[in-house]
Structure 1
Amino acid sequence: MQPLTIFGDSGSGNCLKVRWVAAHLGLPFTWREVDVPAGGTRTPEMLALNPPGRVPFVVLPGGEVLSESNAIIAYLAEGSALIPHAALARARMLQWMFWEQYSHEPAIAVRRYQLHYLRRDPADLDPRLEERGNAALALMEASLSKTSFFAGDTLSLADVALVAYTRMAHEGGFDLTSFPGVRDWISRVEDGLGIGPYQP
């Protein structure tokens, strides 16, 4: 049986989530780098495997294909300590994972992409991206004043989902020195996952 195959872009926080979880859980996997800016997700081979034409996606050992980063990490972590056993803590984890994709990533990751990859002038960007990103970071800061991690006092998939782009937020023009609780939490998550500090 073949190991898990992860198709992803190493510059994408959404893709890194999957690699981190697989490595943290000791799951054997093969990483397939996809050049997204060069249209790597839109080739006939890629679209045959994953019709939505995005990364990450995985080919499971049995040949099944699964896409969407948070769905993938939830599948990989089933039965592990990354998913809380208690119903409320598990629901809290899901709450933050949904919020990450709806309210966090669309501001922080999008602004990072436009500044870091497209090299756009900050003055040309939609100012709402900065406003929404800072509001997301402020909400995270407030939550972390109550608990060490987002689903309670232990590392969960909520933290994996949120740390991916938060640790890159400075590349989107967000000043994390204004959010000391978030900065401390990033270090805790990096230590817990064994991934080390962010290095572009």
Structure 2
Amino acid sequence: MHLYESHIPSGNVYKIQLLLAHLGIQYETTTLNILSKPSETRSDEFLKLNPSGQIPVLVLDDGTALAQSNATLYYIADGTPYLPRDKVGKHKVLEWLFFEQNSIEPYVAVLKFHTYWGNLATMSEAEKKNLKDRGQTALDSMERHLEGREWFVGDAYGIADIALFAYVVHAEVIGFQVGDNVKAWIKRVQSTEGHVPIRKDPTGQCPL
């Protein structure tokens, strides 16, 4: 396997790295500068792998390129303990994978990016308020769901947790209110066997 990742730490890339670490799967890496003008993800070579020009891309040993982080999580997890085998369980996982991409990534992840690598000062107060309000609504939904639960789907840690964890782990640091249930869940994720943290930012712009 060959993983194309960003030179700055990306939660979407981290999801894949975390699951591969849990499974003990070895892979090679190509790092692309997404802040360059133009981004290295806009090269002809990379666009052949993923026409949308987004990372991560995981290239399988047969040359098949997999894009979209949560779809890739689902592919890797199939047949492992990180994805339920029953249809309802799989459906519930997909619910949270879609939720993460629609309600966490566009707000929590975007605010994190602009806080450390973008230019938060150029955003209007209305734009910042929208990110914070919509992100907070999503975090509050997670808090309610975790009442009386340890994990997001069933009784076991899985890719629903991995997908949500990638950006939520730093939500409080960038100004969101994180409830006790989510905080306890974050600690459980960090205590799972084989857990690895997101890598440090080599540019030094993000201290997390």
Secondary structure (helix, strand or coil) at the match of 1:187 reads helix
1:58-112, Cα deviation, whole Å (9 max, x unpaired): 1100011110001111111110000012322221111111111111211111111
Aligned to 1:144: 146
CA distance in 2, matches of 1:153, 1:62: 35
Moved over 4 A (4+): 196-199
- AA aligned opposite 1:195: V
- Contact 2:21–2:196, Cα closer than 8 Å, also in 1: no
Aligned to 2:70: 70
TM-aligned CA deviation for residue 14 of structure 1: 0.5
CA distance in 1, matches of 2:46, 2:14: 19
Aligned to 2:27: 29
TM-aligned CA deviation for residue 146 of structure 1: 2.7
- Contact 2:9–2:199, Cα closer than 8 Å, also in 1: no
Alignment of 1:129-140 (within 5 A): 129-140=131-142
- Contact 2:146–2:181, Cα closer than 8 Å, also in 1: yes
Aligned to 1:8: 5
TM-aligned CA deviation for residue 196 of structure 1: 4.6
Aligned to 2:100: 100
CA distance in 2, matches of 1:51, 1:97: 22
Aligned to 2:205: none
Identity of aligned residues (%): 32
Aligned to 1:194: 195
Aligned to 1:57: 57
Question: Taking structure 1 as reference, are residues 68 and 82 closer, same or farther at Cα in structure 2, changes over 3 Å only?
Answer: same
TM-score under structure 1 length normalisation: 0.90
TM-score under structure 2 length normalisation: 0.87
- Contact 2:14–2:198, Cα closer than 8 Å, also in 1: no
- AA aligned opposite 1:194: H
**Greater Cα shift, 52-61 or 184-193:** 184-193
- Contact 1:150–1:159, Cα closer than 8 Å, also in 2: yes
- AA aligned opposite 2:72: I
Question: Taking structure 1 as reference, are residues 48 and 85 closer, same or farther at Cα in structure 2, changes over 3 Å only?
Answer: closer
CA distance in 2, matches of 1:86, 1:112: 35
TM-aligned CA deviation for residue 198 of structure 1: 8.2
Secondary structure (helix, strand or coil) at the match of 1:58 reads strand
Secondary structure (helix, strand or coil) at the match of 1:172 reads coil
Aligned residues: 195
**Greater Cα shift, 72-81 or 124-133:** 124-133
Structure of higher RCO (CA pairs closer than 8 Å, 6+ residues apart): 2
RMSD: 1.9
Question: Taking structure 1 as reference, are residues 115 and 125 closer, same or farther at Cα in structure 2, changes over 3 Å only?
Answer: farther
- AA aligned opposite 2:25: L
- Contact 1:150–1:158, Cα closer than 8 Å, also in 2: yes
Greater helix proportion:
1
CA distance in 2, matches of 1:186, 1:13: 15
Secondary structure (helix, strand or coil) at the match of 2:89 reads helix
Secondary structure (helix, strand or coil) at the match of 1:47 reads helix
